[in-house]
Amino acid sequence: MDKTPSTAFGMPLKATPGIRRFSAAAAKGNHSCEFGSGKYYALCAFGGVLSCGLTHTLVVPLDLVKCRIQVDPAKYKGIVNGFKLSVAEEGPKGLAKGWAPTFIGYSAQGLCKFGFYEVFKNVYSGMIGEEKTYTWRTSLYLASSASAEFFADIALAPMEAVKVRIQTQPGWASTLREGVPKLYAAEGISGFYKGLPPLWMRQIPYTMMKFACFERTVEALYKYVVPKPRAECSKAEQLTVTFASGYIAGVFCAVVSHPADSVVSKLNSEKGSSALDVAKKLGMSGLWKGLGPRIVMVGTLTALQWFIYDTVKVAFRLPRPPPAQMPESLKRKMAQKQ
């Protein structure tokens, strides 16, 4: 019998200098690579590129209207009115404004978000051991996702700055190729990163909710809703659970991160303003403008992102640990206390 210790996620542990981490023993069965190997992290990062880059680009029209509602609520009074005005002013093609910086920026963000999440989750789990990994798993998800998003937003910020200006400042620029040199000439390199602090305020809580809520929802669905263990479910059934869990997580993500999203949209459309200035100007009601379309957008977005990410793992035959399970050592300790 294999005596190799395992984590709460069902993967073996191996000692490495400085930390204990999820093992990369040897690729077995139908897996294309070892769990925790460089190839594993690279393919997870590639899954993040596809999941974030494609989905955010898909909803550019809704994102454009949402940003305009946040920046100019007096003109764009709602989601339907916003679409009608945008089409009337620029035609249907105008709804695609900002697609290029969206695709590039969110592809880079997805690479860091999902790739680093897997890395940090494994590293932090190895540092605290398998028993605390299980008992503190929600905190583990929160810490890992927050760490990953810190770097992901640095990758996203320049393209987000260009995208918001293209979408909300009529006549400023209509393409990425035109917008980048124009922004650099007007504000220098700092213009690409002045929205980074509020971006962290928006994205870090969003991502913490996105990953922690998703992980715990998956765990709950398999425990209370799905009538059989995940190992006995077909790939289609597993991906259905992934999509449902992603949508539930997305609704919570939208609510938690919306005020900061409003600040980011307004800040990047106003030269010389600070995040605090913008927040004061918007007021409490202004911070929540556009929440309805954002719930629809983010809920759908998050569900599709998790679906694409999990599909990539299935397609490339990556190891996919089951939902967290209580370690045998912890079960024995609890039994002894009874």
pTM of the model: 0.80
Q: What is the pLDDT of residue 257?
A: 80
Residue 41 CB partners (closer than 8 Å, separation 6+): 115, 118, 119
CA distances from 333 to 11, 85, 312, 323 (A): 21, 64, 38, 21
Which pLDDT score, from 0 to 100, does residue 14 have?
A: 44
Q: Give 264-295 pLDDT, tens digit per residue.
A: 777 766 666 777 877 888 887 788 877 887 78
CA angle, residues 30, 34, 39, in degrees to nearest 5 = 110
Q: Which of 62, 86, 60 lies closest to 159, judged by CA?
A: 60
277 vs 274: CA distance, rounded Å? 5
Do 284 and 218 contact (CB within 8 A), yes or no? no
Which residue stretches of the chain have pLDDT < 50?
1-6, 10, 12-27
* HSE value, Cβ hemisphere, 13 Å, CA-based, for 271: 10
pLDDT per position as a tens digit, 236-256? 999 999 999 999 998 888 888
Helix%, strand%, coil% for the chain, nearest 5? 75, 5, 25
Q: What pLDDT sits at residue 21?
A: 37
